[in-house]
């Protein structure tokens, strides 16, 4: 999807006082002329919302907010709002052999990824990306800079971890890193026999699911996913393992580069234009799949004229979030801890059956209407809390208006 901004503001240098004055100046200009504002971190919104979601917005490009600075005493990394995941991983590794739980695509920007969940194979070990945010530097709608955490502007801090879009522009993330694993094994195993019959396809997934829930074997060091790819012509189980094995071993950075599929982990700080065109839907569930729904999905995927001979290319990814010892949502985290409803998910997938599901924020579906999106991405309790309670998000237009007079929503 393509949207045309009315103006793009590229902030010149994140560390300078001049740069810090540019964002408030841009917001003030937009407020004066009634123009909606959208910050762009990496530009990888599935629905192109990083360019506003419609024509005629003011886009504030954070590309130059690209510094990564690690405090080796505390393990806290100060990360610019325009940093991309590959550069983030490389930066904290080079500065102190540290790691974070996040996605695998090196070119994805930190902004939307970290504030809407942020899943990767290492998330079961370290938690979702948003669980590692301990503070943020934020530009509010009135142009003021604030540093927030759980003790300062706690309600805003709550909202920025899961529902950040309407609250301000994050210029710096403060992230609690973890010691990087000494051994990071990437594995991929093909199941060609799963392509032979519906029974085989169903049995393979049910076997993977049974293994995933077997606590004496499976712990937080396992990241795992299942991909049905190439229009149902390949069936692969893949992921990472932090620990010893008889297979060829790699370090953290080599593993991340392999997962990203780009050869190199780091990406250019300027002029990074890689993109893809696709349409995505997602569902998530916090309970195990029964055999019958998996069989029905397999029947559809392998049916001639449906999945097998579809007129367009497609794939389905089933990612393991929960199961024994997963650090996603550890220590009882739920919708009261952050504005995110998926802490107790077991699987996050891109197919569905006839039952109630949620969905994942970073696999956004632009065809959903407002109420569908709120209920699927945040769940009914959090939807009601943010819709009617004191933590209710407000649109950027409302926030801009509030700089001069009260919002009338």
The pLDDT-based confidence of 8 (bands split at 50, 70, 90) is confident
Answer CATH for 7-61 from 3.30.43.10, 3.40.1190.20, 3.40.50.2300, 3.40.50.300? 3.30.43.10
- Residue 177's pLDDT is 98
pLDDT in tens, 283-320: 888 999 999 989 988 888 887 556 677 767 777 888 99
SS3 38: strand
Domain residue ranges in the chain = 7-61, 68-179, 185-266+275-381
Is the CATH code 3.30.465.10 the one for domain 68-179? yes
Selected residue with higher pLDDT from 190 and 361? 190
d(CA 117, CA 386): 17
d(CA 19, CA 38): 17
| Residue 210 CA: distances (Å) to CA of 207, 291, 319, 404 | 5, 11, 14, 58
Percentage of the residues of the chain whose pLDDT score is greater than 70? 82
Q: Are β-strands 133-139 and 145-148 bridged in parallel, bridged antiparallel, or unpaired?
A: antiparallel
The Cβ-side half-sphere exposure at 183, using a 13 Å CA radius, reads: 13
Predicted TM-score (pTM) above 0.85: no
Say whether pLDDT at 409 is over 50. Answer: no
CATH code, residues 185-266+275-381: 3.40.462.20
d(CA 367, CA 1): 12
* Helix 198-212 / helix 291-301 crossing angle, nearest 10 deg: 140
d(CA 170, CA 38): 11
Structure tokens given for 113: 């990824």
- Lowest-confidence pick of 170-179, 248-257, 342-351, 399-408: 399-408
Selected residue with higher pLDDT from 8 and 94? 94
pLDDT in tens, 376-406: 788 777 777 665 444 444 433 333 333 333 3
The pLDDT-based confidence of 351 (bands split at 50, 70, 90) is very low
Identical fold for domains 7-61 and 185-266+275-381, yes or no, is: no
Residue 223 CB neighbour total at 10 angstroms:
27
- Residue 305's pLDDT is 58
- Residue 102's pLDDT is 95
**Taking all residues of the chain, what is their mean pLDDT, rounded to a whole number?**
82
Rounded to the nearest 10°, the torsion over CA 300, 306, 311, 313 is 10
């Amino acid at each position: 999807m393509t949207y045309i901004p009315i103006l793009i503001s590229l902030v010149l240098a994140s560390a300078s006082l001049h740069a810090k004055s540019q964002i408030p100046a841009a917001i003030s200009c937009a407020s004066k002329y009634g123009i909606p504002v959208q910050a762009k971190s990496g530009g990888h919104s599935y629905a192109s919302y990083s360019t506003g979601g419609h024509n005629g917005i003011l886009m504030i490009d954070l590309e130059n907010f690209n510094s990564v600075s690690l405090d080796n005493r505390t393990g806290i990394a100060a990360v610019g709002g325009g940093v991309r995941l590959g550069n983030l991983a490389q930066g904290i590794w080079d500065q102190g052999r540290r790691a974070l739980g996040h996605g695998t695509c090196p070119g994805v920007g930190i902004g939307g990824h970290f504030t809407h969940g942020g899943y990767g194979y290492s998330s079961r070990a370290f938690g979702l990306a948003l669980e590692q945010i301990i503070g943020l530097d934020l530009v509010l709608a009135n142009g003021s800079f604030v540093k927030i955490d759980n003790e300062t502007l706690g309600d805003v801090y709550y909202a920025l971890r899961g529902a950040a879009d309407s609250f301000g522009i994050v210029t710096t993330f403060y992230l609690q890193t973890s010691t990087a694993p000494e051994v990071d094994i990437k594995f991929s195993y093909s199941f060609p026999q799963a392509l032979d019959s519906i029974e085989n396809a169903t049995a393979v997934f049910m076997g993977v699911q049974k293994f995933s829930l077997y606590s004496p074997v499976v712990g937080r060091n396992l990241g795992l996913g299942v991909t049905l790819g190439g229009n149902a012509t390949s069936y692969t189980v893949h992921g990472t393992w932090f620990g010893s094995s008889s297979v060829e071993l790699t370090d953290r950075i080599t593993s991340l580069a392999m997962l990203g599929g780009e050869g190199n982990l780091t990406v250019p700080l300027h002029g990074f234009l890689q993109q893809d065109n696709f349409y995505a839907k997602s569902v998530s569930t916090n309970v195990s799949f029964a055999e019958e729904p998996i069989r029905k999905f397999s029947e559809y995927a392998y049916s001639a004229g449906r999945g097998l001979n579809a007129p367009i290319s497609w794939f389905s990814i089933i990612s393991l979030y929960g199961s024994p010892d997963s650090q996603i949502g550890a220590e009882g985290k739920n919708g009261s801890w952050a504005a995110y409803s998926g802490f107790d998910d077991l699987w996050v997938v891109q197919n569905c059956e006839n039952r109630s599901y949620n969905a994942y924020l970073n696999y956004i579906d632009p065809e959903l209407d407002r109420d569908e999106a709120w209920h699927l991405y945040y769940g009914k309790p959090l939807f009601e809390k943010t819709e009617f309670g004191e933590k209710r998000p407000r649109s950027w237009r409302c926030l801009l208006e509030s700089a001069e007079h009260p919002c009338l929503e």
